[in-house]
Amino acid sequence: MKYLIIVLFLFLPFSLVLSQDKKINVIVIGAHPDDPDGTAGGTAIKFAELGHNVLFVSLTNGDAGHQSKGGGALAKIRRTEAQEAGKRLGVTYRVLDNHDGELLPTLEVRHQVIRLIREWKADIVIGPRPYDYHPDHRNTAILLQDAAYMVIVPNVASDTPPLKRNPVFLYAQDRFQKPYPFIPDIAIDISDVLDRKIYAMAAHESQYFEWLER
């Protein structure tokens, strides 16, 4: 069976959030268009089927991840592909206009993340661990860690109302072994929606079918 495996990095009452008689707001944050799909596409389908609200966010516009296209033209392609993937998954997809390959854990981007989490009124936030060969992935993880507490602090990014309580922050599965191997706390079986996840990921044609073609 295929799984998305996630681990808590901020301990909060996950069972309480899931047991509430209301719609859950889930936000999955990645560095590039297609990152949220790969890490949580199947889980997103399951949440959406239950009537919950799921937002995928790419912190960069993907304008550098192609061997022959780039800049604004590529960013437009990546944004269009992300919107199609979102339709196939049944989720909302946001692509921010930070440059691919240049993402840094700055105060400006941290505030972007804080505002997104607050605006979505997130109950659950899923993102990568900070152990990755790609600096954009590592810095996405750092940005989430830095935002995790600040989303409830009123005078930080004060133009957006703070959350009343912290969401549950989760790490998505990865295969990195150093400095610490991934140890799951929660496993979600997505075998029954795996084909739909792959179909959604295939919307990112410039990444999966064109990248470093030979």
Give the closest residue to 168 by CA, choosing from 4, 3, 18, 5.
18
Dump pLDDT digits (tens) for 59-70: 999 999 888 878
The SS3 of residue 141 is: helix
Q: How far apart are CA 83 and CA 80, in angstroms?
A: 5
pLDDT at 210: 87
Q: What are phi and psi of 135, to 5 degrees?
A: -60, -35
How many C-beta neighbours within 10 Å does residue 49 have?
A: 11
Residue 166 has pLDDT above 90, yes or no: yes
pLDDT at 213: 57
pLDDT at 68: 82
pLDDT at 65: 85
Percent of all residues in the chain with a pLDDT value above 70, rounded to a whole number? 89
pLDDT at 67: 84
CB neighbour list of residue 123: distance below 8 Å, 6 or more residues apart: 17, 24, 25, 26, 167, 168
Instruction: Give me the domain span that covers residue 82.
Output: 3-13+22-208
- Tokens 């989490």: give the residue: 117
For the chain, what is the mean pLDDT? 90
Give the closest residue to 40 by CA, choosing from 74, 75, 5.
5
The enclosing domain of 66 has a CATH number of: 3.40.50.10320
Give the closest residue to 96 by CA, choosing from 162, 106, 87, 88.
106
Find the mean pLDDT for residues 123-145: 97
Asked whether residue 100 is assigned to any structural domain, the reply reads yes
Peptide bond into 179 cis (omega under 30): yes
Asked whether residue 214 is assigned to any structural domain, the reply reads no
Asked whether residue 101 is assigned to any structural domain, the reply reads yes
Asked whether residue 213 is assigned to any structural domain, the reply reads no
pTM of the predicted model as reported, rounded to 2 decimal places: 0.88
Q: Where residue 37 falls among pLDDT bands split at 50, 70, 90?
A: very high
Dump pLDDT digits (tens) for 179-198: 999 999 999 999 999 999 99
Residue 96 has pLDDT above 60, yes or no: yes
CB neighbour list of residue 126: distance below 8 Å, 6 or more residues apart: 6, 26, 27, 28, 29, 36, 39, 40, 43, 170, 171, 172
Give the closest residue to 144 by CA, choosing from 39, 15, 23.
39
CB neighbour list of residue 213: distance below 8 Å, 6 or more residues apart: 67
Dump pLDDT digits (tens) for 41-84: 999 999 999 999 999 999 999 999 888 878 999 999 999 999 99
The domain tally of the chain equals 1
Cα angle value 46/19/123 (rounded, 5°):
70
Q: Residue 50 in contact with residue 98, Cβ under 8 Å?
A: no
